[in-house]
Chain A
Amino acid sequence: DQQVKQNSPSLSVQEGRISILNCDYTNSMFDYFLWYKKYPAEGPTFLISISSIKDKNEDGRFTVFLNKSAKHLSLHIVPSQPGDSAVYFCAASVGTGGGADGLTFGKGTHLIIQP
């Protein structure tokens, strides 16, 4: 049973446009959400996070939106740049860092930025 779902395995966006990556979760106990970015042959790199007490968090070109009633979050990247081409993982946890239960990840979305 997948508790964190990323239903788009891949997404292609033109350079300079907005990239929107989506994530759904089923476990109501999750109260902290993170996005990680992964290049081939590297480990996941932390991008941005959001607590369930907020509905939006912004960091430069990256904004995460959380809709608790829909159990849905999204990552917006604007403007998209060629270096943003990577696999993006949505992760969720009970508590800030996952604690003793760790992080629960989706399967990832491969974002491709077209020149």
Chain B
Amino acid sequence: ETGVTQSPTHLIKTRGQQVTLRCSSQSGHNTVSWYQQALGQGPQFIFQYYREEENGRGNFPPRFSGLQFPNYSSELNVNALELDDSALYLCASSLEDGRETQYFGPGTRLLVL
């Protein structure tokens, strides 16, 4: 069974740029959630995708957007990057509309200069 994978592992961008982060779900999982973990904080929920539709969203502005593909892999897109977007971005997959335990990938470390 393949776990959750994310790419890239690290990324450096400058303020105002756009970034795309990628996530492959654990085998058999149809739900993907994205979290932002700032330094010294716990992960904070960005949004969740279930069967290619956004299923729920946390307190993040619209410049954070996502996609889920038919194979249940997912992308997180962030436009107009700000310095405060520097964080670890975590993807988690689960079964059935997020009603089962979420399993996390290793994360992508984003630094905005």
Which chain B residues numbered 36 to 72 have a C-beta less than 8 Å away from chain A? 40-48, 55-56, 58
Q: Which residues of A contact B101 (CB under 8 A)?
A: 34, 46, 49, 96-97
A83 lies within 8 A of chain B by Cβ: no
Q: Which of B45, B90, B99 contacts A44 (CB 8 A)?
A: B90
| Alpha-carbon distance A103/B42, docked complex (angstroms) | 10
Q: Which residues of A contact B48 (CB under 8 A)?
A: 98-100, 102
| Alpha-carbon distance A102/B107, docked complex (angstroms) | 17
Stretch at the interface among A13-21, A35-43, A63-71: A35-43
Closest CB in chain B relative to A73 CB, distance in Å: 15
A25 lies within 8 A of chain B by Cβ: no
Knowing A43-B90, A89-B42 are in contact, say whether A103-B102 is a contact too (CB < 8 A).
Answer: yes
Instruction: State whether A89 touches B99 (Cβ < 8 A).
Output: no
A4 lies within 8 A of chain B by Cβ: yes
Instruction: State whether B43 touches A101 (Cβ < 8 A).
Output: no
Give the total of B residues in contact with A, Cβ under 8 Å: 33
A105 lies within 8 A of chain B by Cβ: yes
| Alpha-carbon distance A104/B46, docked complex (angstroms) | 11
Residue pairs across A and B with Cβ atoms less than 8 A apart, 18 shown, are A43-B107, A44-B43, A46-B102, A91-B42, A98-B48, A98-B102, A99-B48, A99-B97, A99-B98, A100-B97, A100-B98, A101-B58, A102-B35, A103-B102, A105-B42, A105-B43, A105-B44, A106-B42
Residues of A within 8 A of B (CB): 4, 6, 34, 36, 41-46, 49, 89, 91, 95-108
The 3 A-B pairs of least Cβ separation, nearest first, read A100-B56, A102-B45, A105-B42
